Structure 1
Amino acid sequence: MARVHQLLVLTLVSGSALYSGLVPALGLGDINLQSALNQPLSAEIELLDVGDLTRDEIKVRLASQSAFDQSGVDRPFFLNDLRFTPVVRGKSSVVRVVSTQPVREPYLNFIVEVARPGGTLLREYTLLLDPPESSYVASAAAAPSAPAAPSRAPRAAATAAVRSAPV
């Protein structure tokens, strides 16, 4: 009887390990800012390891107030205007982040929540926005596919904070 019990436990543990290996390890990567200060927000967040997930299986939204509180991040009212849309296209999948209202603050900090089959992921992002007349924004608008030189505009690049926690 003890041997049957051990075999049953071993089967359940190995089955769980195999099943968890089949679930895609969806992740959030860097954010690419495409707008400037005093413009509606336009940005894209990389979706990593999408696997065979479809757009309908990936739910992206601004994290809850309790997630902001636990992380010690303020949640200003403006963040309610942010809209998140997953765009699944193989290895170049992204989450589009847009707002209808212009961003008036040069610093924007928010937490994104991604729900997918098998779990939820939270990640904090911090954006530093330059005014639209800055030389970086003008050159980025002229050549969006060219990578920006870090020494030319250190503030224009969007930076992701270190906090990232699967839930």
Structure 2
Amino acid sequence: MAAAALMLVAPAAWSLGLGRMQVQSALGESLRAEIEVTSITPEEAANLRVRVAPPESYKAAGVDYNAVLPGTQVEFLRRADGRPYLKLTSERGVQEPFVDVILEINWSTGRLVREYTMLFDPPVTARTPAPAPAPLSGPAMSPATPVPAVPPRAAQSRPVPARAAPAEPTAPREPRTATA
């Protein structure tokens, strides 16, 4: 009988549920992350208090207290569709590729302590196009005139005539049409 009574009370005491964390910032940027709240009663939401645990809690848990954590704000918010979530923000830039955060969540009928590990990717930099090469200064050069390649002959050699100066370019020729 006592066990049945305990089971009726336990769901009310533990109805607050937290889901996955989504990190929205990269290395070097200020901290931005969101945690989905999977279940919460109106009473819990009315007096919910969430904060980053103090350094003593990190020491007791054997977890590093990262320099980005002091001053980190945690807000309980609702999306446009009404779904609740926690928003973590900090003005400090994240300098480590991963940061452990311990959250303390308190409400009128309970308390929850939850640890998350945040992973930060390197910042995405926009690739800028390579600068165009500077124009060459000096006399303009005309394109080289192609010379047909003649395969070398093993036993014969002929003298090569001297090359004449390049001729002025002419207009393209009209295409020939076949006549019947």
Q: Verify the 8 A CA contact 2:27 2:97 in the aligned structure 1.
A: yes
Structure in which a larger fraction of residues adopt helix: 1
Rate the CA distance shift 1:123–1:23 in 2: closer, same or farther, 3 A: closer
* Structure 2 residue identity aligned to 1:126: T
Distance 1:134 1:126 in 2: 25
Rate the CA distance shift 1:44–1:53 in 2: closer, same or farther, 3 A: farther
Q: Does 1:34 align with 2:24?
A: yes
Q: Which residue of 2 aligns with 1:125?
A: 116
Q: Which residue of 1 aligns with 2:94?
A: 103
* Structure 1 residue identity aligned to 2:74: F
Structure in which a larger fraction of residues adopt strand: 1
* TM-score normalized with structure 1 length: 0.63
Distance 1:134 1:108 in 2: 22
Computing the radius of gyration over CA atoms, which structure comes out larger, 1 or 2? 2
* Structure 2 residue identity aligned to 1:110: V
* TM-score normalized with structure 2 length: 0.59
Q: Which residue of 2 aligns with 1:50?
A: 40
Instruction: Choose from 77, 80, 89 the match for 2:67.
Output: 77
Identity %: 30
User: Tell me, what secondary structure is at the counterpart of 1:81?
Assistant: coil
* Structure 2 residue identity aligned to 1:128: L
Distance 1:32 1:91 in 2: 18
Between 14-23 and 109-118, the greater mean CA deviation after superposition: 14-23
Instruction: Choose from 47, 61, 76 the match for 2:51.
Output: 61
User: Tell me, what secondary structure is at the counterpart of 2:27?
Assistant: coil
Q: Which residue of 2 aligns with 1:141?
A: none
Q: Which residue of 2 aligns with 1:113?
A: 104
Structure 1's unaligned 5+ residue stretches are 1-9, 136-167
Q: Residue by residue, what CA displacement relative to the aligned partner does 1:92-137 show, whole Å, maximum 9, x if unpaired?
A: 21100011121122211111111112211111111111122169xx
Distance 1:68 1:46 in 2: 23
Distance 1:56 1:27 in 2: 15
Distance 2:89 2:23 in 1: 10
Q: Verify the 8 A CA contact 1:38 1:104 in the aligned structure 2.
A: yes
Q: Give the number of aligned pairs.
A: 125
* Structure 2 residue identity aligned to 1:27: G
After superposition, the CA RMSD in angstroms is: 2.6
Rate the CA distance shift 1:20–1:88 in 2: closer, same or farther, 3 A: farther
Structure 2's unaligned 5+ residue stretches are 127-180
